[in-house]
Amino acid sequence: MTEQPPPDKSGAEPGAASPAKAAKARTAAETRQLILETALRLFRERGYEGTTMRGIAAEAGVSLGNAYYYFKSKEHLIQAYYGRSHDEHLAACVEALESERDLKRRLLAVCRTKIETARPYHRFAGQLFKTAADPASPLSPFSAESMPVRREATELMAVVVEGSATRVPGELSGELPNLLWLYLMAIILFWIHDDSLGCARTYKLIDRTVEIIVRLINLSSLTLMRPLVRGALELTSELRQLSTPEAR
């Protein structure tokens, strides 16, 4: 007869973490969140270059070693910000993606909610851009360090296309999510420099350009457009190969 474990007198479900371990996990999560929130506040107030890990730890009320335990560097804090920003964006556009099948409305929802969720960080994004614009910076949206968030954002664009009623030619469908992510990056760059009230110019740009993009996607299925589409995709592939370290 197999020996059974002694009964759990804590009332917890079998296999569940003990209350002490759960409390410790909550504390770790809360500490990590506190450090991140403190860092973002200091980045907004002092700028990226003017903020140090020591200053973040002091403001958060944790030891410097504890700050480095959760985030190995300031760059890791920014990557955490990228991840949280993407999660907030995903949560904001999920309802539209579940209810809409029209490609134009789906793409509009994703682009507009990206700006809406990012607006609290508008000034900070401008400060961060000074560093992230450097192609060699790990904070660049095109860097290897940013790849996980970049991949998730591209997958979101794939959901936008695949969940729509629009028929996309096979040769274009595989590349379209990446092209749409690049388009969104261009929108964000415009937004960073947009000082209009409520970022009105950015929203206007989104509305006008999404209309054009969707029309081009619809036209891409025409036989007359296939050579043009194929040429554009070949150029995109060549440019990507030139941007890889192996090709340099």
Neighbours of 154 (CB within 10 A): 16
118-130 per-position pLDDT tens digit: 998 898 898 888 8
92-141 per-position pLDDT tens digit: 999 999 999 999 999 999 999 999 999 988 988 988 888 888 888 999 99
Any idea which residue has 């809360």 for tokens? 30
Any idea which residue has 């560093």 for tokens? 131
- In this structure, are residues 119 and 52 in contact, taking their beta carbons and an 8 Å threshold? no
Give CA–CA dist 158/148, Å, rounded.
15
Any idea which residue has 């003017």 for tokens? 50
Say what the pTM is. 0.79
Contacts of 14 (CB under 8 A, 6+ apart): 8
45-74 per-position pLDDT tens digit: 888 888 999 999 999 999 999 999 999 999
Query: For residue 236, what is the enclosing H or E element?
Result: helix 226-243
The residue extents of the domains of the chain are 73-243
Given a cut of 80, whether residue 223 has pLDDT beyond it is: no
- In this structure, are residues 206 and 112 in contact, taking their beta carbons and an 8 Å threshold? yes
CA distances from 68 to 33, 60, 232 (A): 13, 13, 45
Give CA–CA dist 206/201, Å, rounded.
9
- For residue 223 the two structure tokens come to 């036989």
Helices (H), 49-145: 53-60, 64-70, 74-99, 103-118, 122-132
15-36 per-position pLDDT tens digit: 444 544 544 555 888 999 999 9
**Per-residue model confidence (pLDDT) at position 166:** 93
Q: Residue 190 carries which DSSP code?
A: H
pLDDT band (50, 70, 90) for residue 2 = very low
Give CA–CA dist 229/226, Å, rounded.
5
Give the CATH number of domain 73-243: 1.10.357.10
